Amino acid sequence: MSAYAPRVEPVRPPDVEVEMPSADGGGSTYAILESAHDAFVSIDAAGRIIAWNRAAEETFGWPRGDALGRSMVELIVPERFRNAQLPGLQRYLETGDASVAGQPLELAALHRDGRELETELMISPMRMGDATVFNAFLRDITARRQAEREVGRLAAIVETSEDAIVSGSLDGTITTWNAGAERLYGYSAREMVGQPITRLRPSGGLSELETHRDRLASGESVREFEIREVHKDGHPIDVSVSMSPLGDERGAIVGVASIARDVSERKVNERAMLEAWERFHGAFVSAPVGMALVGLDGGFLSANQALCALLGRSEKELTALSFQAVTHSDDLSTYGARARGAGPEG
């Protein structure tokens, strides 16, 4: 950001007095300047303020009477920028080169209460006899710049995220596609932006998506549902997806943002564990000998039919008992030592 600080000469009576035209005598000029949304400031060649409209009062917090005759640099330029010179303006003061005129500039400015503002400045020189004055319109762009920086930060977060972050319209057309999505699905942003999201789901899952779309259109978010999608090379990918509605400035829902995470490895492990459990459970239930699952405290967790028949009790009755309750006292010390040896160390 550049700071605007015209050279300040020793204080002397202004070369020219440029008062804001009065409501009675200024006519349309007064009305235009007073109703302008932008701050209007006029300074003489020494940098002293000679005109200051109502928007300038609101922007910088100084009443017109307090601003007139003051150095603009000392009044509205932060101290650390006060020795900076704007080359184009200085060149004009020294040589008459008016290349700065009409060029948008950014100025770090200071409010009366000490807040720093970011402003956009358009300045034009004007000759009045032998004197030169500079008329400037300044616009407070602090909120706009803050919003732009926030958008930039969010964009950086999205682009560097390990997760696939995708946005699209309510009809499913993809509008943004981050680097995480490229890694997860194998498609570049160029290949996917403008394409339907169904390209990732060539078969199945579409009715579920329609249900989610209806919820999103009503302003609801959808958290972590799992779906199988297809990589560019054709292999399936299990993903966990969260989706949130995107609204416009009026609050109308116009799109969807989704975050997808690859859970393929977890799903493989879950399937392997389920298969192992099913094999064990089948063997456990059909075993011809009595078998039981017992907790570390000796309580029955489960018992097969062979054991129930052997002990003459139902599985429900056994799970209300401990192993010790159905074991002969002569065998408890032997089985207890074995159980301690099989338990966790420490």
DSSP secondary structure letters along 110-158 = E-TTS-EEEEEEEEEEEEETTEEEEEEEEEE-HHHHHHHHHHHHHHHHH
Q: Is residue 174 within 8 Å of residue 196, measured between CB atoms?
A: yes
Predicted confidence (pLDDT) at residue 23 exceeds the cutoff of 60:
no
- Return mean pLDDT, the chain: 80
Q: How far apart are CA 203 and CA 331, in angstroms?
A: 61
Q: What is the mean pLDDT of residues 268-295?
A: 89
Q: What is the pLDDT of residue 174?
A: 93
Predicted confidence (pLDDT) at residue 68 exceeds the cutoff of 60:
yes
Domains, the chain, ranges and CATH? 28-141 (3.30.450.20), 161-264 (3.30.450.20), 287-342 (3.30.450)
Q: What is the pLDDT of residue 251?
A: 84
Q: What is the pLDDT of residue 213?
A: 79
Q: Which of 7-11, 26-30, 224-228, 285-289 has the lowest mean pLDDT?
A: 7-11
CA 194 to chain centre: 23
Predicted confidence (pLDDT) at residue 310 exceeds the cutoff of 80:
yes
Q: What is the pLDDT of residue 72?
A: 87
Percentage helix, strand, coil, to 5, in the chain? 40, 25, 35
Predicted confidence (pLDDT) at residue 51 exceeds the cutoff of 80:
yes
pLDDT, one tens digit per residue, over 199-245 is: 888 665 556 667 787 888 888 888 888 888 999 999 999 999 999 99
Predicted confidence (pLDDT) at residue 328 exceeds the cutoff of 80:
no
Band of residue 114 on the pLDDT scale cut at 50, 70, 90: very high
Provide CB contacts within 8 A for 187, sequence distance 6+.
Answer: 177, 181, 232
Residue 51 tokens read as 């005109």
* Top-confidence residue, 269 or 90: 269
Predicted confidence (pLDDT) at residue 159 exceeds the cutoff of 70:
yes
The one-letter amino acid at 104: P
pLDDT, one tens digit per residue, over 177-187 is: 999 999 999 99
Band of residue 93 on the pLDDT scale cut at 50, 70, 90: low
Residues of the chain with pLDDT > 90, as a percent, come to 32
Predicted confidence (pLDDT) at residue 4 exceeds the cutoff of 50:
no
Strand partners, 82: none
The one-letter amino acid at 32: I
Q: Is residue 91 within 8 Å of residue 7, measured between CB atoms?
A: no
Q: What is the mean pLDDT of residues 149-155?
A: 84
Q: What is the pLDDT of residue 176?
A: 93
Q: What is the mean pLDDT of residues 326-346?
A: 61
Predicted confidence (pLDDT) at residue 167 exceeds the cutoff of 70:
yes
Q: Which of 4-13, 54-63, 66-75 has the lowest mean pLDDT?
A: 4-13
Q: What is the mean pLDDT of residues 159-165?
A: 88
* Top-confidence residue, 72 or 24: 72
Q: Which of 69-73, 128-132, 182-186 has the lowest mean pLDDT?
A: 128-132
